[in-house]
Amino acid sequence: MQVFEACIFDLDGVIVDTAVYHFKAWKRLANELGFNFTEAQNEKLKGISRVKSLELILEWGGIEKSADEQQVLATRKNEWYVDMIHHMTPEEILPGTKELLDNLRAAGIKTALGSASKNATVILEKVGILPLFDALVDGNTVSASKPDPEVFLKGAEALGISPAKCIVFEDAIAGVQAAKAAGMKVVGIGEQDVLGEADLVVSSLEQIDMQTLTNLYSK
């Protein structure tokens, strides 16, 4: 039987749910610019970079800003967001996450983070699971946004594991597509009708155990 050797996790919506903090920060920025920002719009920002997110928000608000002005706005939003995530606690880890990470480590399976977030290290430190990752690949080390596979390929490279022996955990369509483009198996965390391109879709990491992953990889 074939055996997988590594698992690569997205951050937001898989390990923790920081969407609420992104939403609050983006909404505050939009309101200061004179327009509203909805939760439905926030959902459309899943898995994409801060710069691209700002471009979309300005477009929705019908506002044009120069590149320098956009940089100032993106920095301001991030300062608000970082202030909020510095108050995160271990209680904010999504159900089943720590148990799965512990089980993977006990089984000798390597783990990496593959996220567009530039604040991943801070978040993992605050929720107390940074030591459970063998490698971190985030928005500070990649240049291409998902669905480009760069973040996952760099994760496999950092672990010294072939992409074909990796399983990815993702909650966004772009992330699922990135994992598939990297030649990896992917578990979607969310709704089947949204993440149907994934090899397996579950509503929570609580539904994942070592046997499930072994069966998935062997298909």
For the annotated binding site for substrate, the residues are: 10-12, 26, 45-50, 53, 77, 115-119, 146
Strand duo 185-189 + 200-202: pairing? parallel
Give 34's contacts (C-beta < 8 A, 6+ positions apart). Answer: 61, 63
**Facing residues of 189 across strands?**
202
- How many angstroms separate the CA atoms of 158 and 123, rounded? 20
- Which parts are annotated binding residues for Mg(2+)? 10, 12, 170-171
12 is catalytic: yes
- How many angstroms separate the CA atoms of 139 and 30, rounded? 23
The first and second tokens of residue 104, run together, are 């993977």
- Which parts are annotated binding residues? 10-12, 26, 45-50, 53, 77, 115-119, 146, 170-171
Backbone angles phi, psi at 5, to 5 degrees: -120, -10
Q: Of residues 10, 68, 148, 199, which has the active-site annotation?
A: 10
83 is catalytic: no
CB atoms within 10 A of CB 170: 29
- How many angstroms separate the CA atoms of 101 and 105, rounded? 6
Q: Of residues 12, 83, 102, 209, which has the active-site annotation?
A: 12
**Catalytic residue ranges:** 10, 12
